[in-house]
Amino acid sequence: MLEIYNERVQDLMIKPDKRPQNGLNIREHPKIGVYVEGIIKNPVGSYEDIEAQIDKGTSNRTVGATNMNATSSRAHTVTTINFT
């Protein structure tokens, strides 16, 4: 789970004060395609595990007040789930 805020990619599984200051790098590999370098991958075994990870990431989002909403998200969030 990541967010793009102020043109920086941030891993939402990491608390904001522990994240790399310049964000993460987006890379492209000929076999695996586009990926975010250094993003945390958390294996899960149930819907409840997925929900817990999404809740964790959601709590780490960047938010701020706007004229229309006191807790508006100020970023774009991307969540990826790979099923095997």
Question: Does 38 fall in a domain?
Answer: yes
pLDDT reported for residue 72: 62
More confident residue, 51 or 5: 51
CA atoms of 76 and 4, how far apart (whole Å): 5
Domain count, the chain: 1
First to last CA, the chain: 18
> Which is higher by pLDDT, 14 or 67?
14
Task: Report the C-alpha gap between 34 and 63 in whole angstroms.
Answer: 27
Range of the domain at 20: 2-78
67 located within any domain? yes
8 with 20: CB under 8 angstroms? no
Rounded distance, CA 66 to CA 50, Å? 30
Q: Is residue 42 part of a domain?
A: yes
- Note the pLDDT of residue 71: 62
Tell me if 83 is assigned to some domain. Answer: no
Q: pLDDT (tens digit, 9 = 90+) per residue, 30-74?
A: 999 999 999 999 999 999 999 999 999 999 887 766 666 666 666
